[in-house]
Chain A
Amino acid sequence: MTPLKERLVQLEVLRYNPDTDTEAHFQRYEVMCQEEWVVLDALNKIKADIDPTLNYRWSCHMAVCGSCGMMINGEPKLSCHAFLRSYEGVIRVEPLAHFPIERDLVTAPDDFMEKLKRVKPYVIPKEEKPISEGEYKQTPAQLMKFRQYSMCINCMLCYAACPQYGLTPSFIGPAALTLAHRYNLDSRDGGRKERMEVVATKEGVWECTFVGACSEVCPAHVDPASALQQLKIVGSIDWIVEHLIPGGKS
């Protein structure tokens, strides 16, 4: 059996240490990698063998924990899912765009965490039911209405890709809005009105200009762009019912 092919890979990695640096700079590394490796494997080899001071987050190495998002050649990617075979020449690795840098490739996700909480991403029950009465019935068709939107791994690549979030940081943004939509669509939930008060606002869906970059970079195929467009329609209908139909209530 042929051994695995190796290749010398060059990476240009953004370095920043607030303890010692006044500004960020790039550092070049050369590291021997297996052809089938991902960028994260290359970083791990650098960390173990060349430079223990390089910092980044990672854990699962299977694109589900959402820790290792970074900009790779300018695109937001999970580094555990960015295959070296897709890149030629020097690979440029930077922290996720639109978030403040803590150190090197580590960014501060505080803003995202706060927004996630604001959209109330949990079931607000339509009807209370004790556990002893068993499950809420939900048909496969009802499940399919929201399942795709429940796949978000909170990796924040969509925030790094979203030009609107870059321009207007108060924008609640793709992942959080999509999760609001996910719960709105759940047959067990009765919290749509509460959520729409947060979501159908200037900071919510109406800030989205439908660039669609969020869906292009999503590693979990969630398609936040479609969720946001659906939310706009729901928000518009609510407005029409409330304002234009006599006696109407949303």
Chain B
Amino acid sequence: MRSISTDVVIIGAGGAGLRAAIALAEADPKLRIALVSKVYPMRSHTCAAEGGAAGVIKPDDSFDLHFDDTVGGGDWLSDQDCVEYFIHEAPKELLQLEHWGCPWNREADGSVAVRPFGGMKKKRTWFAADKSGFHILHTLFQTSLQFPSITRHDEFYALDLLVDDGRCQGVTALEMRSGELHQFHARAVIIAGGGAGRMFPFSTNGAIKTGDGMAMAYRAGAPLKDMEFVQYHPTGLPNTGSLLTEACRGEGGILVNKHGRRYLQDYGMGPETPVGQPQLKTMELGPRDRVSQAYWHELQKGNTVTTQWGECVLLDMRHLGEKKINERLPLVRELAEAYLGVDIVKDAVPIRPVVHYMMGGISTNTKAATPLPGLFAAGECACVSLNGANRLGSNSLVELLVFGRRAALSAIEHVQGAPTPNAAALNACAEQTQSRIDDLMSRTDGTESMSGLRREMMDTMEKNVGIYRSEEGLQEGVNKIHELRQRYQRVRLTDKSSVFNTDLFQLLELGSMLDCAEAVTVGALARKESRGAHQRLDYVERDDKNFLCHTMVYHQGLDVPRVDYLDVVITKSPPGVRDYSGDHK
């Protein structure tokens, strides 16, 4: 085992991890920064975000409006002090990216352009065509190359946090190329490991999004918060699950059922608006939870279109015209053409809701600090309680900037007061990881198939923890995931090689996903209300009396996790009615 001593270690080199690394390097060039990622930074899933990033910049907009949209969009489960901090930091971060070269689309006068997005009362989404996440990621990665204090450890798979004296002081990671275990000793750790959408079979998420960062913190004792809130994006390609950005609707695309009816008007998001003249915060610009839920109802009513890829509704963008589509939605046109054979200029494209984003994650406060001293988290892996029960599209790309930077600043504060790590104690801790890997590699009595367990997990999540949920289904989900976690202890590792052993990494990723899946199912079963993305057929109303609180799930080894609750921070907006009727009362 090799030991590396550093000041701050960051796990994950996507948008949040890179933003944190740059903030650390800028704040103190003498700080040693280790950036550990299981992929090269530009492969991180930030690259797949399309539509854009929200920040108040135009004269007709205001912080109060962004606050109201975010809090209402989150069905009042957002912590309002967090939202307040976020909306004020958002434009600064987006401008910072502009200064670093991000190719934002522009108005004729050279100022940044903004586009409409779901659930937002004003146009405030900055965008780079429909490749906004890609450009944000590459801008950050390329900018990071100028800082000599950032040492990258690309293709290192992080395994376990090193905790001693009640403080997080490092992490173990396998170098994928050699199979050699490394331990990083640090005075602060930032997890920026992304979401866990791959626990579901139909997801926009890349293969790497297996919740490793969440699971690592959870196993080390940090609670996972609000995991039951899983966002379905309303418009995914029905075969591959590839995302067709909300900007399709922001630019004027409409959703129709098999009768050609714009069905969203039947689910509290009407009345109908004229085709090609999208109105903010109504109809196709409703929030993602409501739009995805409307699909489910259309499916029950038999109003969906039957295609060779299953039941769908249609996203019609033909009226936008080829010029606008090529300028604003070039990737969407390419994806639909390549993977589905549909040219969106000529035909409506069949789509269905697809798992997209975890509102929940490692519990953090507005300073991006977890309850475990020395451990910070940012981006999708964290739950800082910005997004509440339903994230608004274009808030997450900004979230990873704002809280990536915030995690870095908090880590610096922490480092200044932190004692020197006790190397012997951390070594002993790291030896436990080494034994875990050695056991796996020498295991000869594995009886469970890894791909088999993964399939059972995915099927369970889809069947029992989908857009609409019930007591019976959730109980079945809890039981099944718990069973799978026991069976996982007997999983078979076929490949025993030390070099780039993806059989081993997939096995470890499955362990992460099962931990996260258990937190999702347990949280969902315990939350006996409907709020945002968590909809119960047996508890159809929001229950502010009993559930205006965050679910906190604590890992208990192989036992069922412990569930606790934490109050939501309400500063100025008491729970109210979510109104997406476009001001038509």
> How long is the Cα–Cα vector from A139 to B108 in the complex, in angstroms?
6
Residue in B138, B145, B239, B500 whose beta carbon sits within 8 Å of that of A103 in the complex: B500
B98 within 8 A of A: yes
Establish whether residues A102 and B499, one from each chain, have CB atoms under 8 Å apart when the complex forms: yes
Establish whether residues A53 and B131, one from each chain, have CB atoms under 8 Å apart when the complex forms: no
A140 within 8 A of B: yes
Establish whether residues B39 and A59, one from each chain, have CB atoms under 8 Å apart when the complex forms: yes
A138 within 8 A of B: yes
> How long is the Cα–Cα vector from A63 to B334 in the complex, in angstroms?
10
Residues in A whose Cβ lies below 8 Å from that of B39: 57, 59, 67
* CB pairs A–B below 8 angstroms (26 shown): A1-B308, A2-B308, A4-B308, A18-B499, A36-B239, A36-B339, A47-B451, A47-B502, A55-B500, A56-B502, A59-B206, A60-B47, A60-B48, A61-B240, A62-B48, A66-B42, A67-B43, A102-B499, A102-B500, A103-B499, A120-B145, A122-B100, A138-B106, A151-B131, A154-B138, A188-B99
B208 within 8 A of A: yes
Residues in A whose Cβ lies below 8 Å from that of B138: 150, 152, 154
Binary contact track A129-143/B, C-beta < 8 Å → 1, others 0: 101001111111011
Establish whether residues B497 and A20, one from each chain, have CB atoms under 8 Å apart when the complex forms: yes
Binary contact track A50-89/B, C-beta < 8 Å → 1, others 0: 0011011111111111110000000000000101000000
Which A residues lie at the B interface, using CB under 8 A?
1-4, 17-20, 36, 47-49, 52-53, 55-67, 81, 83, 102-104, 106, 108-109, 113, 116-117, 120-123, 125, 129, 131, 134-140, 142-143, 146-147, 150-154, 179, 183, 186, 188-189
Establish whether residues B500 and A135, one from each chain, have CB atoms under 8 Å apart when the complex forms: no
> How long is the Cα–Cα vector from A189 to B100 in the complex, in angstroms?
10
Task: Name the prevailing secondary structure of the A interface residues.
Answer: loop
Residues in A whose Cβ lies below 8 Å from that of B243: 62
> How long is the Cα–Cα vector from A125 to B495 in the complex, in angstroms?
50
Residues in B whose Cβ lies below 8 Å from that of A154: 40, 42, 138
19 further interface pairs, Cβ-Cβ under 8 Å (given A58-B207, A59-B206, A137-B110): A18-B499, A36-B341, A60-B48, A60-B206, A61-B240, A61-B242, A103-B500, A120-B145, A131-B95, A131-B96, A131-B99, A135-B104, A135-B112, A137-B109, A138-B106, A139-B110, A140-B105, A154-B42, A188-B101
Establish whether residues B451 and A49, one from each chain, have CB atoms under 8 Å apart when the complex forms: yes
- B102 CB, min distance to chain A CBs, angstroms: 9
Which B residues lie at the A interface, using CB under 8 A?
39-40, 42-45, 47-48, 92, 95-96, 98-101, 103-112, 131, 134-135, 138, 142-143, 145-146, 154, 177, 206-208, 239-240, 242-243, 306-309, 331, 334-335, 338-339, 341, 450-451, 494-495, 497-503, 506
- A125 CB, min distance to chain B CBs, angstroms: 7
Establish whether residues A189 and B99, one from each chain, have CB atoms under 8 Å apart when the complex forms: no
- A209 CB, min distance to chain B CBs, angstroms: 27
Residues in B whose Cβ lies below 8 Å from that of A179: 142
> How long is the Cα–Cα vector from A22 to B341 in the complex, in angstroms?
44
Q: Which residue of A lies closest to B241 (CB)?
A: A61
> How long is the Cα–Cα vector from A109 to B134 in the complex, in angstroms?
20
Establish whether residues A64 and B131, one from each chain, have CB atoms under 8 Å apart when the complex forms: yes
- A190 CB, min distance to chain B CBs, angstroms: 12
A66-B42, A123-B100 in contact; A134/B48 too (CB < 8 A)? no
Residues in A whose Cβ lies below 8 Å from that of B110: 137-139, 142
Establish whether residues A61 and B98, one from each chain, have CB atoms under 8 Å apart when the complex forms: no
Q: Which residue of B lies closest to A154 (CB)?
A: B42
Establish whether residues B206 and A65, one from each chain, have CB atoms under 8 Å apart when the complex forms: yes
Establish whether residues B494 and A53, one from each chain, have CB atoms under 8 Å apart when the complex forms: yes
Establish whether residues B495 and A52, one from each chain, have CB atoms under 8 Å apart when the complex forms: yes
Most chain A beta-carbon neighbours within 10 Å: one of B101, B106, B307, B451: B101
Q: Which residue of A lies closest to B101 (CB)?
A: A123
Residues in B whose Cβ lies below 8 Å from that of A36: 239, 339, 341
Establish whether residues B101 and A186, one from each chain, have CB atoms under 8 Å apart when the complex forms: yes
> How long is the Cα–Cα vector from A48 to B207 in the complex, in angstroms?
13
Residues in A whose Cβ lies below 8 Å from that of B331: 64
Of all A-B residue pairs in the complex, the 9 with the closest CB atoms, nearest first, are A137-B110, A59-B206, A48-B451, A123-B101, A103-B500, A53-B495, A52-B494, A121-B142, A60-B206
